[in-house]
Amino acid sequence: MARAHARHRKSRSPGATREGRAPRRVVVTGGAGFLGSHLCTALVDQGAEVLALDNFVTGSPSNVAHLLHDPGFRLLRCDVTDFVHVPGPVDLVLHFASPASPVDYLRMPVETLKVGSLGTWHALGLAKDKGARFVLASTSEVYGDPQCHPQPESYWGHVNPIGPRGVYDEGKRFGEALTTAYRDHEGVDTGIVRIFNTYGPRMRPHDGRAIPTFIRQALLGEPLTVAGDGAQTRSVCFVDDLVRGVLAFAASGHPGPVNLGNPEELTVLRIAKDVLAAVGSASAIEHIALPVDDPKVRRPDTTLAEELLGWRPRVPWTDGLARTVEWFGQASLEDESATVVGGGAPRTA
């Protein structure tokens, strides 16, 4: 564990990052991933010194290439399941290291569980050692296939621990429990955000999630593979809005959990048709079998985020989709080393 010896945390206000002032030094685990790279960009833009940690299993240095020559940014290859040591002071630890796509956690189930447990433990140890605020990137997957709709933070979830999605769902649920234990018993200033479906530039074309899969298929003139009849719903949030919410939460000093996501609910079939229109593609829609344990509905209750943070999504779906399609149009659509396990339908986790 990252030198988490017993000592009192430095005395500082939980609101040391409030009123829009960027924290002095921030560690972002998973900093070369989709969400992590956008967080790093926003923090550097605010004037923070940022250290991004990533083992590049699902992240890529190309996601932060635009930051590599900035004196306020440093990228370090690091597997948080092994050890985390950062010299010097740290004000904020954003723990975003984890496979997040079903393609990845089906391919790496043990690694996914390890980063949700050992990785969270090590990142918490770093925060304890430095007297830093710690924010865990949890997920709407802790609600499983929900029997409560929309999903408030008080809902305990409906999760199959031995199903194919269990390695990700239960890893995040364990991470929430560990984070809470460090707050209650170790005196660490921790917070938990539950992130709902997020999309935008820098998603991997072959990561298996619905939006990048549909865009890739449409750009290549392939059929869009919609699971089932497409009536299942998702709520999708543009990445800029999500990052704004995470940083507002980090500055709040609140323990969470707090839902961050777009409360506008779309069917998967609607998403597919909107992608076709945005791309200008004549591709057909092909209906295939539903994946195991695929949630039928997914929509956050964002009341707490609105009341606590004054946060709500600003980017309309059509605008965010257009910006994402534009980015994909300039990106390589070739297959990646993290290939789709078993092919088939995109999963909208």
CATH of the domain at 115: 3.40.50.720
Domain of residue 151 covers 25-198+237-260
Check whether 20 has a pLDDT greater than 50: no
Answer whether residue 247 is part of any domain. yes
Confirm whether 211 is domain-assigned. Answer: no
Q: For residues 98 and 101, what is the distance between their CA atoms, to the nearest angstrom? A: 9
Tell which residue, 274, 275, 272, 296, has the closest CA to residue 285: 272
Per-chain mean pLDDT for the chain: 88
Instruction: Look at residue 142 and tell me if it is in a domain.
Output: yes
Residue 243 lies in a domain: yes
Alpha carbon of residue 147 to chain centroid: 23
Paired sense of beta strands 190-195 and 133-139, if any: parallel
182 counts as catalytic: no
Least confident segment among 18-32, 304-318, 327-341: 327-341
**Nearest to residue 274, comparing CAs of 214, 199, 348?**
214
pLDDT of the residue at 335: 54
Percent of the chain with pLDDT over 90: 77
The string of pLDDT tens digits covering residues 181-222 is: 999 999 999 999 999 999 999 999 998 899 999 999 999 999
Q: Single out the catalytic residue among 105, 143, 155, 168.
A: 168
Give yes or no for residue 18 having a pLDDT over 70. Answer: no
Q: Is the dihedral of CA 98, 142, 39, 124 positive or negative?
A: negative
In a domain, 86, yes or no: yes
Phi, psi of 93 (to 5 degrees): -115, 120
Would 255 be classed as within a structural domain? Answer: yes
Helix, strand, coil percent content, the chain, rounded in steps of 5: 35, 15, 45
Give tens-digit pLDDT for 234-278: 999 999 999 999 999 999 999 999 999 999 999 999 999 999 999
Count of domains observed in the chain: 1
Going by C-alpha positions, the residue among 93, 111, 89 that lies closest to residue 53 is 93
Instruction: Say if 304 falls within a structural domain.
Output: no
* Helix segments in 48-200, DSSP class H: 102-107, 109-114, 120-130, 166-186
Residue 108 pLDDT class (50, 70, 90 cuts): very high
DSSP code for 347: -
Whether residue 216 lies inside any domain: the answer is: no
- Which region holds residue 333: left if phi is over 0, alpha if psi is between -120 and 50, else beta? alpha
